[in-house]
Structure 1
Amino acid sequence: MIAEILSAGQEMLSHPIDLLPHAEEAVRALAQSHRIVMITKGDLLDQERKLAQSGLGEMFDAVEIVSDKRAPTYSTIFDRHGDGAERAMMIGNSMKSDVLPALEVGAWGVFVPHGLTWELEHASAPEGHPRYAERPDLGAVVELVHEIETQG
């Protein structure tokens, strides 16, 4: 039984990373003119491995692997890597862990739905919030950033 569990774990670790649609293009485009920080939750070594296998690692200005994704965590990261929450945008597929805490500290919160989001990460969208947006994929986020910048 233990051998089967270890084998399954090794198979998972060797599974190739599949990027979300438009992920590489979006990160590449935004990295040309913006500071890009990946904020992810999970096991340090596993998250580092996934980032290395993704081929996107060098495009990020910083990577923060955190134990929780709550408002104080985002506030600290936005201050450390930028000009604070007011000039930050968190993009993610978890309403509960990515979008809502970012909005709580004054950042933009952009929800990009994904079919494989854990049930525990679901929450109601903050409809009507002036800094909330939903986009169908990461490519559409690039357009959103440009819209926000042109509005002032």
Structure 2
Amino acid sequence: MTTPPLVPTGPDADATFYHGTRADLAVGDLLAVGWGSNFQAAPLSWIYFSAALESAIWGCELAAGDGRERIYIVEPTGDWFDDPNLTDQKFPGNPTRSYRSRSPLRIVGEVESWTPHPPEVLQAMKANVARLKADGATIID
């Protein structure tokens, strides 16, 4: 039995999607809800991804853990929506092209190289995330 092609059902339907992390995964694996995120250990009810490589770079650079930074090319397996953590709160109009879904994301490839943020820019962002956590902010919905 062959798998029918996926029918895009969200914004940026014809885009290439990315997920930045430190998790060591393989093509064909599924990223699913119910696990902790790059930013918190509590299981999430959404899986996050972006149609902008820049957003995925931040995702892998800010991810907790000691594993190698990775950016996977992913394919949504169900409906997806604008990520309100960014779209509504920080960047109206969703210029980061950030999305979330309750359906798994299938890994279809990996970005082999990208330009990391300069160390001082990354450190400033990490300090900001740490400050938000210390203030009790909910970073991810």
TM-score > 0.5, shorter chain as reference: no
- State the structure with more CA Rg: 1
- Scaled by the length of structure 2, the TM-score of the pair is 0.25
Identify the structure with the greater helix proportion.
Answer: 1
Identify the structure with the greater strand proportion.
Answer: 2
Query: Which structure is higher in RCO with an 8 Å CA cutoff and minimum separation 6?
Result: 2
- Scaled by the length of structure 1, the TM-score of the pair is 0.24
